[in-house]
Structure 1
Amino acid sequence: MRAIYLLLLGVVAVNAQRRLALPDPRSCANRVRHSTYRDGRGVVHSYFFSWEHLPTRNLEVDWLDARNICRRHCMDAVSLETPQENEFVKQRLARGNVRYIWTSGRKCNFNGCDRPDLQPQNINGWFWSGSGAKIGPTTQRNSGDWSNTGGYGQPQPDNREAAQGNDESCLSILNNFYNDGIKWHDVACHHVKPFVCEDSDELLNFVASRNPGIRL
């Protein structure tokens, strides 16, 4: 029960401060992991699916809140770095009939993103914020799983909310939202969705180094 309360309190705290959260050792030790997966590189990943956990079954939050709930538990929003991992998560969405989720995918459109290799941002500026890995150019359709359509019938990412002042700078997976299958879409970060967390070695090592003897 303690982990459940900390999870829900984490939502309140994130809403209050709107900053990237640090992990909470107790929450890390009691984090829920619904599944593990060994990718093609032999790396084992552990995941939390918000819709499979009773206290968060109906919880939908914005992109930053999703990351911070994960981070308080030594996890981060999921980074889909291989086609196999992408398919694994997509199958979980299909099984749960989940309409959409947040990933850690982000467009680099903030201070420090003016480097030539990130231009133009909607093509070369996408990365996995949970791991720091860069996503391939969006013009190379085999380097990701971007949908070929969206609200305007244009290939993703289309940044279609930019006209309303909302840069679509966060990466969501939508489940056949536009009769396009389960695909990646760029979405304005303030929208609310369920989310997937993935164990973060960086945060786990951080907590372990400062809490000798903790069992993670």
Structure 2
Amino acid sequence: MRMLISGYFLFSLISISFSQTFVLPDGKACENRIIHADRFGKAYHFSWLEAGEHTKWDWEGARNYCRKFCMDSISIDSRPESDWVNTLLQREDIPYIWTGGRKCNFAGCDRPDLQPAIENGWYWASTGSRIPSPKKCRYCDWSHTGGLKTNQPDNREMKQGGKDEACIGILNNFYEDGVKWHDVECRHKKPVICQDSDELLDFIFGPEK
């Protein structure tokens, strides 16, 4: 059983390298967090069922919504989990969501193994684990099309004068392509699927005995 503790949270290098601010969890909110699904060894929370279908955040804000109650934006680790998310969005008629997927495009990301970043720089910010390159990833569901009618990720918005498309959203047939992954500018507003964060739960309640 987890016991409530206090202390200092050590932010990871990745969490602070690109000047974003992530909130610490709230003990009461963590204790009373709402779980909407439990599978694949994870507990999930759907923001549209709790915060309302019209409540949306940018990528950072979506993570902070989840982090308040010891969760974080979803990381997808398998084909069955990816298929389940796709089916969920179709069934719930959700047009798009944020994931915890992020491109390493900030200070410290110039390592050779992360280049080119559009291929090799993707990772799950919520867990720190790498996402295989689009050509090698067996569970990734990158779209074959988008605004430029090319395979995702394509960094379209930057090519058209915007900022780097550094965050992974899942869009529900937006380009008549089914439920698919797209790289998107992180400023856009979307709902989110949260999942339990062992790191944040340990921070609040202590490691499980």
**CA displacement at 1:143 relative to structure 2:** 5.0
Q: Distance in 2 between matches of 1:156 and 1:166?
A: 16
**CA displacement at 1:130 relative to structure 2:** 0.8
1:113-128 to structure 2, matched below 5 A, reads 113-128=109-124
Pick the structure with more helix per residue.
Answer: 1
1:1-216 to structure 2, matched below 5 A, reads 19-37=21-39, 39=40, 44-53=41-50, 55-140=51-136, 142-163=138-159, 164-209=161-206
SS at match of 1:26: helix
Aligned-CA RMSD value: 1.7
Deviates more, 1:18-27 or 1:28-37: 18-27
Contact 1:137–1:143, Cα closer than 8 Å, also in 2: no
Residues 51-98 of structure 1: CA distance to partner in whole angstroms, max 9, x if unpaired? 122x33320110000001101110000000111111111111111101
Contact 2:72–2:197, Cα closer than 8 Å, also in 1: yes
Identity of aligned residues (%): 49
TM-score with structure 1 setting the length = 0.83
**CA displacement at 1:144 relative to structure 2:** 1.4
Q: Distance in 2 between matches of 1:21 and 1:111?
A: 21
Q: Structure 2: which 5+ residue stretches go unaligned?
A: 1-18
**CA displacement at 1:209 relative to structure 2:** 2.3
What letter is aligned with 1:87? Answer: D
**CA displacement at 1:141 relative to structure 2:** 5.8
What letter is aligned with 1:165? Answer: G
Residues 168-190 of structure 1: CA distance to partner in whole angstroms, max 9, x if unpaired? 00000000111111010000000
Q: Distance in 2 between matches of 1:141 and 1:97?
A: 27
Distance 1:27 1:131, change over 3 A: same
Deviates more, 1:132-141 or 1:79-88: 132-141
Higher-RCO chain (CA-CA 8 Å, sequence separation at least 6): 2
Contact 2:131–2:137, Cα closer than 8 Å, also in 1: no
SS at match of 1:56: coil
* Matched residues, number: 189
Aligned structure 1 segments of 4 or more residues deviating by more than 2 angstroms:
139-143
TM-score with structure 2 setting the length = 0.86
